[in-house]
Structure 1
Amino acid sequence: MRYRRAIASGACWFFTINLADRKQDLLIRHIDLLREVIRHVKQHHPFEIIAMVVMPDHLHAIWQLPPDDSDYPLRWSLIKAGFSRKLAKTERIRESRLRKRERGIWQRRYWEHLIRDDKDLQAHVDYIHFNPVKHGYCAKPVDWPYSSIHCHIAAGWINQNWAIDSDSGRE
């Protein structure tokens, strides 16, 4: 049975993408490469990144696709392949992955969630920005360097003490 992904043109999506080996830190160790690959894919297949956090072994992102476009699977495929191709080959590759010409860096599947409304969007943005604290990488969301929280603060959407103040920290 083949897994079928939900499709909706112009939709806003939340994603979780994981490395195959969850003990690796490839995503932050090679953050410049990941950023370069995402920029390249965005140039050829536009989308807006509303929020994103890159953790050592996984990432979360919220994308807004163009009105006439629903092909987020293509974008993730290009990002994963582009990142994998540019890494030195040091990992052990299983026979099943070799047959499919895969490096084995990424989990084959990923989580996607169609954002339903503004409340759902805000909950997922908050989840993304708080994720480094949840995993114990920092005490405050603003301390994690690989997060869109810095763009949200610069835009004035939240303040620097968001998630540690008694109020919501929203402007």
Structure 2
Amino acid sequence: MDDRRSSALVDNVAQLRAAFKTTRIEKPFTIDTIVILPDHLHVIMTLPENDSDFSGRWRRIKSLFTHRLVASGVPVVRNHRGEFGLWQRRFWEHTIRDDADFERCADYIHFNPVKHGLVASPIDWPYSSLHRYIRAGILPADWGGSGEITGNFGRRGE
């Protein structure tokens, strides 16, 4: 999201989920890992074989979500170009290289609410695929505890 003071995503999580659902029907993909924060989100998605249209999917998700908000009367500010200022113009794409890279990125995503000071433990954040991982027995319920996870999580220079 463009406005880091916004809480539009968690305030309107049902509309965001609907935008994802519609986009997945139109342009299939799997959500492997996700966290929705007040002002931004992180997701690892898998596209069908021989399909690399991440941009089209993000464009559709953003458009559907924004139009749902506007239609429901939520005030959405336009920027100086006349575009809705709800979203950043770009997204960061990273191709997962191997299982270790997937694990680093998934850990970063699941720990993000703690990193941003929203909760003391990742399990306390309701808008996270961490809960699905715990139900499936992939991670323990106390994963991430209330301490710091070390590592650069695929990002350079940290």
- TM-score w.r.t. the length of structure 1 is 0.80
TM-score w.r.t. length of structure 2: 0.87
1:10 is aligned to: none
Q: Tell me which residue corresponds to 1:41.
A: 23
Residue 61 in structure 1 maps to residue 40 in structure 2: no
Aligned residues: 145
Q: Which runs of 5+ in 1 are unaligned?
A: 1-18
Whether 1:142 aligns to 2:142 is no
**Structure-to-structure mapping, 1:1-171, within 5 angstroms:** 19-87=1-69, 88=73, 90-96=75-81, 98=82, 102-164=83-145
- Residue 120 of structure 2 aligns with an amino acid whose one-letter code is A
> Shift of the alpha carbon at 1:93?
1.9
Give the Å deviation of 1:160: 0.2
Tell me the C-alpha RMSD between the 2 structures.
Answer: 1.7
The structure with higher relative contact order (CA 8 Å, sep 6+) is: 1
Q: Which moved more, 1:80-89 or 1:118-127?
A: 80-89
Deviation at 1:89, TM superposition (A): 5.3
Unmatched 5+ stretches in structure 2: 150-158
TM superposition shift of 1:110: 1.1
Aligned equivalents of 1:118, 1:94: Cα separation in 2: 40
Partner of 1:113, secondary structure, is coil
